[in-house]
């Protein structure tokens, strides 16, 4: 019975490790998507400024504010994911789920 308990314990540990890795991978994908949104918003702002200068006109304060807020919001979202990833990595390092979870060998 002790052998079966040991096998079950190791399978549970492996399952938790796989779930943690999956969750961290999902966070990384979400951060990548948020970075792409931020990049697109910044590109939109850049093109708007370029077109305005090319046409010798100014961008209205409302347009500029709206585009800048979009960039800031998207960057904040990407930063939030970065924080979550760093927290997950710290938990992984301190919990030892990758190196055996503190199981006695």
Q: What is the pLDDT of residues 61-87, one digit of tens each?
A: 999 999 999 999 999 999 999 999 999
What is the C-alpha radius of gyration for the chain, rounded to an integer number of angstroms?
A: 23
Give the SS3 label for residue 44.
helix
Query: How does DSSP classify residue 96?
Result: T
Are 69 and 99 a contacting pair, CB within 8 Å?
no
Q: What is the pLDDT of residues 7-33, one digit of tens each?
A: 888 888 888 888 888 888 999 999 999
pTM as predicted:
0.72
Are 52 and 59 a contacting pair, CB within 8 Å?
yes
Tokens at 82, concatenated: 């970065």
């Amino acid at each position: 019975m002790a052998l079966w308990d040991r096998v079950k314990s190791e399978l549970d540990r492996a399952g938790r490790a796989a779930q943690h890795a999956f969750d961290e991978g999902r966070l990384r994908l979400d951060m990548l998507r948020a970075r792409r949104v931020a990049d697109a918003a910044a590109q939109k702002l850049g093109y708007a400024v370029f077109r305005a200068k090319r046409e010798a006109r100014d961008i209205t304060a409302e347009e500029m504010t709206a585009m800048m807020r979009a960039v800031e919001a998207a960057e904040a979202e990407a930063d939030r994911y970065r924080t979550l990833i760093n927290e997950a990595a710290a938990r992984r390092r301190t919990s030892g789920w990758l190196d055996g979870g503190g199981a006695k060998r």
